[in-house]
Structure 1
Amino acid sequence: MRVLVTGAAGFIGSHLSERLLARGDEVFGFDDLNAYYDPRLKQARLARLIPHPNFGFVRAALEDQAALNAAFADFAPQRVVNLAAQAGVRYSLENPRAYIDSNIVGFLNVLEACRHRGVEHLVYASSSSVYGANRKLPFSVEDGVDHPVSLYAATKKSNELMAHTYSHLFDLPTTGLRFFTVYGPWGRPDMSLFLFTRKILAGEPIEVFNHGRHSRDFTYVDDIVEGVIRSLDRVPAPDPDYDAMAPTPARSSAPYRVYNIGNHQQVELLRYIEVLEQCLGRRSERLLLPLQPGDVPDTYCDVEALQRDTGYAPSTPIEVGVSRFVEWYRYFYQV
């Protein structure tokens, strides 16, 4: 297939592009290489893809409608995976307009391009953050998600609503994937595993919010990519079991689906740090702090729907995933 991947120089996007190329797909990457975190890491990821004969790339932002339309016109993708976005819960408190520009305006541009170019299937990144103030665990796609606690989460919920509108009005098949705390080699420097590793190796104290007592559904990047590809290959149709008298966020009379994609394992942050210390062979000095604004105490992913429809089965325990990350980090940064 010809697959256009936005955010191809990003953490998940670069891993996904590699896997698609390995199975014989043509991939066109679209990324603005912005400076939200060190662009050199993005460039290093991209350098692994550029030599492949079936990979093309353009540097531009989703907000640049002309550049996006040109990419669609030149490459004529059959399917699209939209992973480009302004990421990060905490940064959305500091720079909210960046989230509207990239995650709302940019996503509209993607939807319009898919609509007018007859794309077979759009898969896009949502987030576990949409569950916001929900406290019933594990989080299920059948649950309401109307109480976001950060603007980042609100933009991701908006993406789901926008996608449904295009599925309903224009018969554009769309699948939204609510990612749960992805980690692994080539990861994002603003994520806890990257921050903790750098500071522990430098002999600096690590900031542990909520006194380390919150939990996350940590999901290894290879498991995430497997789920993305399985979703990409399964084009949704209208749900025959949809009941307009009892609607849920996961079902629709349109060719639309939303899935959780995670590890289906709840791990306390203190245990995550303990595993990292074992892999590094060093103990950490911890600054115990309260929960940050915009964060939620716990996430836990019910992946039953994705397993049922695609056979998705995450299999990487944190002991293995964290070890692989540390091995990559020491190699890449020579420490």
Structure 2
Amino acid sequence: MRILITGAASFLGSHLVEYFLDRGDDVLALVRENARGRERLSKYEEKPNFKTIVLDMMDIEGLEEDFDICIHLAWGGIGKAGRMDRAIQSENIEAAKILMKLCKEKNAKRMLFAGSQAEYGQTLEDIQKRYGENFDIKDIDMQYEDSPTFPKSEYGKAKLELKRELKTLGDKLGIEYVHMRIFSVFGKGDHETSLISSCINNFMKNKDVYIGECKQAWNYIYIKDLCQAVYLLSKKDLESKYVFNIASENNRVLMDYVNNMKDILKSKSSIIVEKREAASEGTPFLNPDISKLKEIGFKEVYGFEGGIIEMCDIKA
């Protein structure tokens, strides 16, 4: 199959490029002219089943190549300011709808879109109001694909809006639509300021780790496990299901992950907790269920500990 991946130079995109290439698919990697991380794709340039396409999403109608499956990751305004900017998010919505129409012109069979946990809008502050400060994560309702959605950011609202609009448009055009609600992904190549990357860096140097209270429930999925999930969603008969949580099998309080990393790395670092002000949209509280994903054959290979071990090249 020929796979079009937009946002191919991103952390997620570059790993998906490699995953599909390794399994014999042809990959069209769509990137912006000045895309950060574009060098990640240079090692594939000599492969006969790989092609880089330099094109902005606003000019997507100019794409000449045909493809069978589209995996749409490209998205502007994911930073702190952009997440609350309705104008930027509206541009993302319009570009995605144009891309869906292009799928029809290119005789593509399926379009996968990277939705977000931000669509649920559940926060630690919400949970503490309902269950109190000393809640037990086992008592909290899990986030199912049909759970209520109350996004608090314009980013989350835009992703949720596209779930509805792309499904309707896809049905009209005869394109199968898959909405992937992606939770928190980690792995090699992630931003150096992410919690996982910064903790690993300090733990490996036995330097003190300064973090927030980390009381919220969280879910980390290793990048290679995520690639398996996306691959299955691109190939399997989904039996009319179209919204899937993309996450790990386990939900834990965020501080548990931090302590787990310290143990895995046998670090002598101290963990110093600082009380920090929550973002304007609140502190996300992630508690997903992935039963639907498991029904199509997904099974974690790495999990959190396996992912950290591979990231840090720890030998048995």
TM-score by length of 2: 0.84
Structure 2 residue runs without a partner (length 5+):
128-139
Contact 1:215–1:268 at 8 Å: present in 2 too? Answer: yes
Residues 242-289 of structure 1 deviation map (CA, whole Å, 9 limit, x = unaligned): xxxxxxxxx6xxxxx111111121122212222333427242444331
**Is 1:109 equivalent to 2:88 in the alignment?**
no
Distance 1:93 1:4 in 2: 26
Structure 1 residue runs without a partner (length 5+):
240-250, 252-256, 329-335
**Is 1:69 equivalent to 2:61 in the alignment?**
yes
Partner of 1:140: 144
Q: Taking structure 1 as reference, are residues 300 and 106 closer, same or farther at Cα in structure 2, changes over 3 Å only?
A: same
Partner of 2:195: 192
Displacement after TM superposition at 1:89 (Å): 6.4
Residues 273-323 of structure 1 deviation map (CA, whole Å, 9 limit, x = unaligned): 223334272424443314322244421221111222x11112423222123
**Is 1:298 equivalent to 2:298 in the alignment?**
no
Q: Taking structure 1 as reference, are residues 89 and 263 closer, same or farther at Cα in structure 2, changes over 3 Å only?
A: farther
Q: Taking structure 1 as reference, are residues 262 and 121 closer, same or farther at Cα in structure 2, changes over 3 Å only?
A: same
**Is 1:30 equivalent to 2:30 in the alignment?**
yes
Distance 1:199 1:258 in 2: 37
Q: Taking structure 1 as reference, are residues 276 and 158 closer, same or farther at Cα in structure 2, changes over 3 Å only?
A: same
Distance 1:55 1:288 in 2: 47
Q: CA RMSD for the aligned pairs?
A: 2.6
Write the mapping of 1:1-335 to structure 2, written as runs, cut at 5 A.
1-32=1-32, 39=36, 42-64=37-59, 68-71=60-63, 73=64, 75-86=65-76, 88=78, 90-93=80-83, 95-101=85-91, 103-133=92-122, 137-145=141-149, 147-198=150-201, 203=207, 206-208=210-212, 211-236=213-238, 239=240, 257-278=242-263, 279=265, 281-283=267-269, 284-308=271-295, 310-327=296-313
Paired letter, 2:252:
V
Residues 103-129 of structure 1 deviation map (CA, whole Å, 9 limit, x = unaligned): 312212211211222211111111111
Q: Taking structure 1 as reference, are residues 4 and 298 closer, same or farther at Cα in structure 2, changes over 3 Å only?
A: same
Paired letter, 1:113:
L
- Tell me the number of residue pairs that the alignment of Structure 1 and Structure 2 aligns: 296
Displacement after TM superposition at 1:34 (Å): 5.4
Displacement after TM superposition at 1:220 (Å): 0.7
Displacement after TM superposition at 1:225 (Å): 0.6
Residues 171-208 of structure 1 deviation map (CA, whole Å, 9 limit, x = unaligned): 21111111110111112345321244456659575342
